[in-house]
Each structure stands twice: as C-alpha cells, then as structure tokens.
Amino acid sequence: MKLKHLKSIAMKIHILNQQTSIANQFLCELRDTSVQTDRLRFRTNLERLGELMAYEFSKTLLAKKCEVATPLGTSQAEVPVNDLVMVTVLRAGIPFYQGFLNIFDKAESGFIGAYREEGSAKDLMITLNYSALPNLDNKQLVLIDPMLATGKSLVKAFKQCLKYGHPKAVHIMSVISAPEGISYLEESIDHPGSIWTWAKDSHLNEMAYIVPGLGDAGDLSFGTKE
C-alpha cells in the first residue's frame, strides 16, 4: 500500500549536540582550524559521527525478533528491520557515509554526484551528473550529506531518488545544518521521514556557506578542487 502524500506530514527534527556526549568532541575538532589541516583526522571524525548518528537513528527503527542458538541454549533480542538504502552525495559525503555503513552493514547503497555552481545563497545552482541506486519501493531512504546548507542539493537528490521507486520514508542525515536548509527541506519534501543533524548553526552567509560551520567538507577531506 502506497503512503499518501500530505502537506500536513511533518519531518521530525533531531539535533543531537543538545546533549553532552563524546560526539561533541569530534564535532569541535572538525570545526577547529588548527586540527583541520590533518585530513586523515578530519575524515576519521566524520566517520565517527556517522557511526554515532547511525546508532541513535537505529533506536527509532521498526524491530523484529531475533533468536539465536548459543553454546548453552538460545537467546532472543529485538533487532532493526533491514529495509534501509543508504545514499550519499559525492564527494563530501563519503567519510560520513562510511560511518553509517560500518553500523548498517546489511543495508543497500546508492550514490549521487552533485556540485554547486558558486554564487550567492539566493541564486545558487545545483547540478546532478551521476546516480547509481537500487530499487527504492517500500524502502527507508537514508540521504547522507555532512553539510545541510541551502538544502537544494538534497532536495534535488531526493527527486532523483524517486526515479528508482517510492520509498516509504526518507531520512536526512547531516553533521551541521543551517536553519535555512532545514526550512527548505520541510517546505520541499512532502514525504514521511526525519531530519538528523549534530548541530544547527546560525545562518548562511552571502556565498551560501554555513556560519560558523567548518568550511568546505569535501576540500578538507580530500583536498581542494580546480
């Protein structure tokens, strides 16, 4: 049975740095200009935050009973239903995405290539030039991108995903979000789901970068591009 699309459907928002945890240390290191020069540490911290967010997200999933034989008997537990498709936006999303795959190792995967035409937040253009996804019918789509700035690339990515089927829910995963981006997602994605972020920052500047943010996650992970 297909889910109805209703504008009254609201995406639940989870802002995880509102509670004290080791994740806040990793987030501080990502922002720190004196630590950002170490690309390996930057990528590792993105991966760690992906793992920790995946764990928090797993608590909200539907569960099924699992029974296993041990050397001394049987044991039962409730485990998440495996109906997830993890999709990342290249290239900045790769380390963060890897953290999710480390936890949801049985999930299916997908990739979307996107880049932004440099400009102001008002006239920013996003171009998609690649996609490889499995069938999404009745799956839970998890869109993973570390920086939720304007939200335009994620909305375009979601629309591209719909060419591969009708997911029953969509979950947006980011490290740092701007309020403008969160609002744009809420206005543009008419679908059951949720938005997850480690931090909701102040605003976008005139070049559509998050303030205070951390800079360009793709360049800090892999080096500058021409």
Residue 98: CB atoms within 10 Å: 18
76 assigned to some structural domain: no
164 assigned to some structural domain: yes
What is the pLDDT confidence band of residue 121, given thresholds at 50, 70 and 90?
Answer: low
Q: Residue 93 in contact with residue 145, Cβ under 8 Å?
A: yes
| pLDDT value at residue 167 | 97
pTM: 0.90
Average pLDDT estimate for 89-100: 94
CATH of the domain at 146: 3.40.50.2020
Residues 6+ apart with CB under 8 A from 18: none
Task: Burial-class residue 57 by CB neighbours within 10 Å (0-12, 13-18, 19+).
Answer: buried
Q: Residue 154 in contact with residue 172, Cβ under 8 Å?
A: yes
Residue type, 85: V
Task: Burial-class residue 77 by CB neighbours within 10 Å (0-12, 13-18, 19+).
Answer: exposed
Residue type, 175: V
| pLDDT value at residue 10 | 76
63 assigned to some structural domain: no
The 10s digit of each residue's pLDDT in 183-225 is 999 999 999 999 999 999 999 999 999 999 999 999 999 998 7
The 10s digit of each residue's pLDDT in 3-47 is 333 344 679 999 999 999 999 999 999 999 999 999 999 999 999
- Count of structural domains, the chain: 1
73 assigned to some structural domain: no
65 assigned to some structural domain: no
